[in-house]
């Protein structure tokens, strides 16, 4: 089984963390986003959507991290708590996985992109108004994460970690390296983060997040990459 | 006690849930939440869901939001036919793949088009810059292209010979811009043929009933008090402009 990944991407980290933590055998195929490799002809043959992560299991090619995670759960026999069979518990995982696309994921990514990609694409720092609005949206999502999804439970579904926690965590980590700390002033989230790290393995978690936390390294890389310079027009859509 | 479904059929995900429940003869109580009147911000609805969005489900003490989670819950609880959410590993993955992709693609772009073409100019009285409109249309077309090239290809439905939740979730989003007078099926025979199959599979009467409000939106706008939308103005501006 092959997983096409770049650990700078949160959904890639979710898939990677899950597969590694559960010792699911796979071949790591790097698709270097800061070199624009997702737009290569070769990758386009694998997936016309041109995004990561992608799973290739024999001739079966699958995109979308939540679909990949559920595929891995269904295919490999993993402990029930990752994606509980119980009707209501499963619904809670599904509810989070659905909600997060246009909320926590979207808002945290936007902050990250405004800090790292915007200057590269637009040639100037992001306007304060835009940045403030993005940070405010992220704050609202984090409030909902705490008040609706976590509440006073150790994990989103209850006493045990599930796919929901992994998918949530990688998104909050995304803008951290750019100086926007979603955990700051939120002791409940910090405690939850520590629990999730422990369940997945702290070394694994830290290793997985190394690249994205090195924000200045990323920006350097982008500036130096001539291929990426050519792709600038494609990135403008993120900011319209 | 019957399941309660909190719905406003102006909302795409509400239409999916409505059609799914009706098609499968799932007994439910239709609890109208009028988005235009801001009922989703009321105290009553706040007790159902602090996310303050529709659709929402209440089954005894259990409250659930997110249309996909709701439909999968109903499918499991009421043991609906397998084709809606196939048990087969790869087929289910294909449904999940579409359901995931669509949030930030067709769902977002179809909604945006509806707001940019109808709601913002007519209700808030703001002129939408041409550049924004063109960008939105381009994004929408790219998504429709992907639906045809990747998700449908030469199959009758997204996963194969039978309809699934993927088609149900897709159709309501693609119908949304029609409510603003943009016929996205124009020049897309493959998509039109698929729409006809979906409408037949669901049942024409049910499909049309679900879409009555949205397709009447342009007319309906003439009768609505624009001051109602003042409430949504800051959020809409941030979302779309």
Cβ contact B31:B6 at 8 Å: yes
CA diameter of chain B = 51
Chain B residue with Cα closest to A66: B100
Rg of chain B over Cα atoms, rounded to whole angstroms, equals 18
Task: Mark yes or no for CB contact A95/B64 under 8 Å.
Answer: yes
Instruction: Give me the percent of chain B exceeding a pLDDT of 90.
Output: 81
For B58, what's the count of Cα atoms within 13 Å in the CB-facing half-sphere? 15
Q: Which residues of A touch B66 (CB under 8 A)?
A: 94-95, 98-99
Rounded to a whole number, what is the distance in Å from the CA of B57 to chain A's nearest CA?
11
Contacting residues of A for B77, CB less than 8 Å apart = 87
> Among 3.40.30.10, 3.30.413.10, 2.30.42.10, 3.40.50.720, what is the CATH number of B3-80?
3.40.30.10
Report the distance separating Cα B55 and Cα B63, nearest Å: 11
Q: Which residues contact B59 (CB under 8 A, 6 or more apart)?
A: B3, B4, B73, B77
B47 touches chain A (CB under 8 A): no
Confidence (pLDDT) at A219: 87
pLDDT at site B11: 96
Residues of chain B contacting A110 with CB distance shorter than 8 Å: none
Judge contact between B71 and B64, C-beta under 8 A: no
Question: CA of A63, closest CA in chain B: separation in Å?
Answer: 6
Which neighbouring-strand residues pair with B57?
Answer: B5, B64
Closest residue in B to A11 (Cα) is: B100
Write out chain A's pLDDT in tens, 240 residues: 999 999 999 999 999 999 999 999 999 999 999 899 999 999 999 999 999 999 999 999 999 999 999 999 999 989 999 999 999 999 999 999 999 999 999 999 999 999 999 988 888 989 999 999 999 999 999 999 999 999 999 999 999 999 999 999 999 999 999 999 999 999 999 999 999 999 999 999 999 999 999 988 888 888 888 888 888 888 887 787
- Residue A148's nearest CA partner among B173, B32, B48 is B48
Q: Which sequence spans correspond to the domains of chain B? A: 3-80, 89-240
Which of B64, B97, B108 is the closest to A64 by Cβ? B97
Whether A147 has its CB under 8 Å from any CB of chain B: the answer is yes
How would CATH label the architecture of B89-240?
Up-down Bundle (1.20)
Which long-range CB contacts under 8 A does A34-37 form with residues at least 24 apart?
A34/A8, A34/A218, A34/A221, A34/A222, A34/A225, A34/A228, A35/A221, A35/A225, A35/A227, A35/A228, A36/A225, A36/A227, A36/A228, A36/A230, A36/A231
Smallest CA-to-CA distance from A155 within A169, A175, A172 is with A169
3-class SS string, B112-145: HHHHHHHHHHHHHCCCCCHHHHHHHHHHHHHHHH
Question: Is A90 an 8 Å CB contact of chain B?
Answer: yes
Q: Which residues of B touch A98 (CB under 8 A)?
A: 66-69, 99, 103
Residue with tokens 């006690």: B1
Q: Mark residue A180 as left, alpha or beta (left: phi above 0; alpha: psi -120 to 50; beta: remaining).
A: beta
Helix (H, G, I), strand (E, B) or coil at B188: coil
Q: What is the reported pLDDT for A50?
A: 96
- Are the C-beta atoms of B153 and B109 separated by less than 8 Å? no
pTM value surpassing 0.90: yes
How would DSSP label each residue in chain A? -EEEE-TTSHHHHHHHHHHHHTT---EEEE--GGGTGGGSHHHHHH-TT--S-EEEETTEEEE-HHHHHHHHHHHTT--GGGS-SSHHHHHHHHHHHHHGGGTHHHHHHHHHHHHHHHHHHHSSPPPHHHHHHHHHHHHHHHHHIIIIIITTSSSSSSSS--HHHHHHHHHHHTTGGGT--TTTT-HHHHHHHHHHHHHH-HHHHHHHHHHHH-HHHHHHHHHH-HHHHHTHHHHGGGG-
CB contact under 8 A, B69 and A237: no
Cβ <8 Å between B65 and A99:
yes
**C-alpha closest to that of A15 among A70, A96, A60, A59:** A70
Q: Is the pLDDT of residue B91 over 80?
A: yes
With CB atoms and an 8 Å threshold, state whether A66 touches B96: yes
CA angle B49, B53, B56 (to 5 degrees): 60
Task: Give me the pLDDT at residue B240, please.
Answer: 63
- Residue among B144, B130, B200, B142 nearest B175 (CA): B144
Taking residues B204-210, what's their average pLDDT? 98
pLDDT at B78 over 80: yes
Residue B116 to residue B126: CA distance in whole angstroms:
9
What ranges in chain B are assigned the alpha helix state H?
Answer: 12-23, 43-48, 67-77, 89-101, 106-114, 130-146, 165-175, 189-202, 204-215, 217-223, 233-240
Q: Do B146 and A64 touch (CB under 8 A)?
A: no
Minimal CA separation from B198 to chain A, in Å:
23
Residue B70 and residue A69: Cα distance in Å, rounded?
20
Which residue in chain A has the smallest CA separation from B49? A148
Structure ipTM:
0.97
Quote the minimal CA–CA distance from A179 to chain B in Å: 23
> What is the nearest CA distance from A133 to chain B, expressed in angstroms?
8
Sheet arrangement for strand B28-32? B28-32, B3-7, B56-59, B62-65
Confidence of residue B239 (pLDDT cuts 50, 70, 90): low
B133 in reach of chain A (CB within 8 A): no
**Average pLDDT value over all residues in chain B:** 93
**Across the interface, do B103 and A98 touch by the CB < 8 Å criterion?**
yes
pLDDT tens digits for range B118-152: 988 877 777 888 988 999 999 999 999 999 999 99
3-state secondary structure of B58: strand
pLDDT of residue B32: 97
Question: Looking at the complex, does the CB of residue B62 fall below 8 Å from at least one CB of chain A?
Answer: yes
Q: Contact B150/A90, CB-based, under 8 Å?
A: no
Q: In what order do the strands lie in the sheet with A60-63?
A: A27-30, A2-5, A54-57, A60-63
- Alpha carbon B78 to its chain centroid, in Å, reads 22
User: Residue B73: which of A71, A91, A147 has the nearest Cβ?
Assistant: A91
pLDDT for the residue A223: 85
Which two tokens mark A168?
A: 């949530």
């Amino acid at each position: 089984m092959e997983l096409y990944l770049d650990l700078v991407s949160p959904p890639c980290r979710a898939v990677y963390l899950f597969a590694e933590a559960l010792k699911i055998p796979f071949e790591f195929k790097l698709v270097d986003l800061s070199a624009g490799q997702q737009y290569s002809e070769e990758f386009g043959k694998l997936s016309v959507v041109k995004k990561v992560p992608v799973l290739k299991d024999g001739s079966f090619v699958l995109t979308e991290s939540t679909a990949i995670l559920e595929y891995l759960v269904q295919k490999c026999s993993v402990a029930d708590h990752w994606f509980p069979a119980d009707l209501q518990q499963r619904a809670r995982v599904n509810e989070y996985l659905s909600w997060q696309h246009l909320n926590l994921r979207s808002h945290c990514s936007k902050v990250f992109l405004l800090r790292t990609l915007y200057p590269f694409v637009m040639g100037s720092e992001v306007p304060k108004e835009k940045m403030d609005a993005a940070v405010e949206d992220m704050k609202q999502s984090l409030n909902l994460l705490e008040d609706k999804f976590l509440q006073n439970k150790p994990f989103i579904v209850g006493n045990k970690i599930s796919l929901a926690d992994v998918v949530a965590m990688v998104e909050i980590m995304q803008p951290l390296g750019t100086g926007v700390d979603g955990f700051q002033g939120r002791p409940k989230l910090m405690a939850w983060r520590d629990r999730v790290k422990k369940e997945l393995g702290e070394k694994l978690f830290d290793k997985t997040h190394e690249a994205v936390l090195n924000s200045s390294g990323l920006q350097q890389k982008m500036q130096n990459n001539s291929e990426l310079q050519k792709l600038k027009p494609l990135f403008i859509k993120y900011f319209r | 006690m019957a399941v309660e479904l909190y719905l406003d059929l102006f909302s795409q995900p509400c239409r999916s849930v409505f059609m799914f429940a009706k098609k499968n003869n799932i007994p439910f109580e239709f609890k109208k939440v009028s988005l235009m009147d801001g009922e989703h911000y009321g105290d009553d609805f706040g007790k159902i869901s602090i996310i303050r969005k529709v659709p929402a489900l209440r089954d005894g003490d259990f409250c659930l939001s997110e249309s996909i989670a709701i439909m999968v819950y109903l499918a499991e609880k009421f043991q609906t036919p397998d084709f809606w959410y196939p048990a087969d590993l790869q087929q289910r993955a294909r449904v999940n793949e579409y359901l995931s992709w669509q949030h930030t693609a067709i769902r977002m772009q179809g909604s945006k088009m509806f707001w940019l073409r109808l709601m913002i100019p007519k209700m808030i009285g703001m002129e939408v810059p041409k550049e924004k409109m063109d960008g939105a249309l381009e994004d929408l077309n790219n998504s429709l292209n992907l639906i045809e090239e990747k998700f449908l290809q030469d199959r009758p439905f997204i996963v194969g010979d039978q309809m699934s939740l993927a088609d149900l979730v897709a159709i309501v989003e693609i119908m949304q811009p029609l409510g603003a007078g943009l016929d996205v099926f124009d020049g897309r025979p493959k998509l039109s043929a698929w729409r006809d199959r979906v409408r037949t599979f669901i049942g024409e009467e049910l499909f049309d009933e679900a879409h009555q409000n949205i397709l009447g939106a342009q007319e309906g706008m003439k009768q609505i008090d624009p001051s109602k939308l003042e409430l949504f103005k800051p959020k809409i501006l941030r979302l779309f402009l």
